[in-house]
Amino acid sequence: MSLKQTIEEIVEKHLPDETHFVVDVQVIEKGPKPQVKILIDADGGLNIDTCALLSRHVGEEIEAKELLSDAYILEVSSPGLDFPLSSKRQYMKNIGRNLKISLLDGTEVEGELISVDQSAIQIGVKKKPKGEKAKEEEVSIALDQIKKSIILVSFK
């Protein structure tokens, strides 16, 4: 098992409950000190106390198991708005928000996330035929065709 997988298992073991989940774990061994970056999220939102507690538990276990021989940097946080959505659970949490989706075929689609099912998402895309009012059309996109999805921030 790789170091990344071992750390992922440690993180999952120390999550407070089933509403919290791991988004990504990165182990970067370049530079003066190795870095362990852990991104977690929660269905109802995440707070800093949860990140701090998880950091403490994970750090203690990494040291107890001597997974990293030297000093290292441990960072536990939530993914920012600029971090691509990567799991069905993240899509579920963001229903009602606007997304910019890059597809594997190179096309891009923007619209409001309406729903998520086992294999696809549905988004409302505004179409404006010439000389007509804009109409919203529901488009289904297979999850396995999505290269990257970013939440669009609105300042309205």
Instruction: Using alpha carbons, select from 104, 105, 107, 114 the residue that is nearest to residue 139.
Output: 114
What is the domain-level CATH number for residue 131?
Answer: 2.30.30.100
Count of the separate structural domains present in the chain: 2
pTM for this model (two decimals): 0.79
Say whether pLDDT at 59 is over 90: yes
Each residue's pLDDT tens digit, 136-146: 899 999 999 99
Residues 102 and 68 in one domain: no
**Dihedral, 118, 151, 18, 57 alpha carbons, nearest 10:** 140
What is the domain-level CATH number for residue 11?
Answer: 3.30.300.70
Each residue's pLDDT tens digit, 67-82: 987 889 999 999 887 8
Tell me how crowded residue 127 is: count the other CB atoms within 10 A of its CB.
11
Amino acid symbol at 57 = H
Among 77, 111, 140, the domain boundary falls at 77
Among 44, 77, 110, the domain boundary falls at 77
Residues 64 and 105 in one domain: no
Alpha helices in the chain (DSSP H): 3-14, 48-64, 88-93
